[in-house]
Chains A and B, each alone.
Chain A
Amino acid sequence: MYRRAGSVARLATPVKAWAQRFALLLLIGVAVALMLLDKTDSVVIERARTLVTDAVSPLLEAAARPVATFSEMSERGTQLVAVAAENAALREQNERLQHWQAVARRLEAENMALRNMLSLAPDPALHFVTARVIGDQGGAFVRSMLVNVGNQEGVRRGQAALTGEGLAGRVAEVGAHTARVLLLTDMNSRIPILVGGTRDRAMLAGDNTGQPRLLYLEPRVELKVGDRVVTSGHGGVFPPGLPVGQVVSVREDGVRVQPFVDWGHMEYLRLVNYELPGILRSLEESKTPGNGR
């Protein structure tokens, strides 16, 4: 076949092979260039990301709904089996919580009175946007989720993403109708927190495993398993006091935290709009011209 095809084919084949090799080299070069561009935190890359997520979000949303409904149904089925035992447990828990509610009410009133006495500046009001999770990033290198709200719904970069149990992550990229939430287990996630009853400052740093580490703990700090971790509000992006997780291991090589969030049943996220008036806000805007509106 090859031999009979004549001189044109004999000439064309090496040319074609050469063209292919050239294309391969060119594309490898472009990929490396893209990596370098990404390394510099380019606005172009972020724009491209939000464009792609905005474009595929209707499809993802359409696919996410039936899956969620199905998993809800199957869960309801398994719940029916254990309903009696769970009822008893809940009654008991309810009694305990009634007691805690009374304590919380009393503390709230006391706190308010003390704040008034000190004339402490009030915390800014929180606004929530509830978002449906439409994309759950699979893979070993990134921990992020796509949600179906964006710029148009008032979502901004840096906002905290919560579930009923606690902090899940922060908004990393915002498109017109989608946003990417960087989970607190992602290797790029750094969240200022307070830990334990003594409220020591530290940084919660993800490393793509299920249990993020605590960094920058002062050496004198003594922690034990079970200590609660909450957001500190340092940096002014997150509201202080959001529950994050609890310490599960304290070893020489580091302290690890188990987040309160149930990663397996994340259907909705609440995005918290916590805007400190004045200087921080204008700083944020000047830092992110691509997102400013």
Chain B
Amino acid sequence: MKANIVIIGAGISGCSIAYHLAKKGMKNIVVLDKAYLTSGATGRCGAGIRQQWGTEANCVLAKKSIEFFETAKEELGYEDDIEFKQEGYLILASDKAEHDRFSKNVELQNRLGIPSKLLSVEEALKIVPYLNPNAFVSATFCQTDGHLNPFKMTEAFYLAAKRIGVQFFFFEEVKEIVVDNKIIQKVITDQREIETSIIVNAAGGFAKEIGEMVGVDIPVFSENHEILVTEPIEKMQGPMLMSFTQNFYCQQVPHGSFLMGRSTKNQVHGHDISSSWSFLDEMAKTICHVAPKIGELRVIRQWGGSYNMSPDKQPIITEANDLKGFFIACGFSGHGFMFSPMTGEIISNMILKKKNEINPDLFRMDRFSEKELSAIEQSVV
């Protein structure tokens, strides 16, 4: 078969890109996934959306994405509930150094129109009363941050894209990409060959491997980040709680369960996404210290998922320099879900040669070799 564009990966990024392209008039788009919808990192993520970042690029991506989410249900004509709530992220500072860094972050965020603010311990306790007041020195809060259901949000993009003609093939794995004289010829899967001249690599944890198929070296790696969920209970917590130095995030989703995760120090790079007892131990110790009341909840399940990490923990959203028609959206470093509307917007404009409102140079792949990495995102769990 033939396609104008082949998108590899039916996670949130691939589905958003497909939707944005089709909406702008592109025909004959094919999306391939080696398993089911949201089977990769999207369906394993912490379901948070936030704008409280430490770099301008991440702040702008997040802010514009949240503006999309606010009207996504209507824009995409989705009948089900995307479980969008804007009850904020409460980010705890552990010491003076982190407090000072957060002060600068809030200045940057406010300058970009993000309504975050610094809070004292007392003010934070008004929002989440059961916090251990000795576990932090100050906090930042942004009301318009919040939660979104990854399965439902992805389905909303998927159904909208399908309705306007995008074809999806699930349980179909890309095995080879044929390039002749620096021109993309076709994608070969385990089930068919698709002639195309444009490919979008939205393969998440496997983006590097897709790059290798066409000889494009993408400077990313994948690592396992673990997460757990508790039994659902009546609502007791509005915002996502988070600390970078204490290494955790924790929110109560609208369904009632608490989702919480942390990163593993010195995690090996690779595709292992198994669950460990040590994560469970460390997560329990951390959350029982910060918010002792949550300790009364029962853990019912744990799992892992890939963060696709870039050198400065900000995404790569670009066309490859040395292979025309090979577009890349990866390296989201754990935040591809919340940036997905902008990912779709930026890539679709690049492919259709339309001007992007946001400077796409911020997401180029050669930014790493050009200069010392001056803007590394620190606000990552």
A, B bound:
no
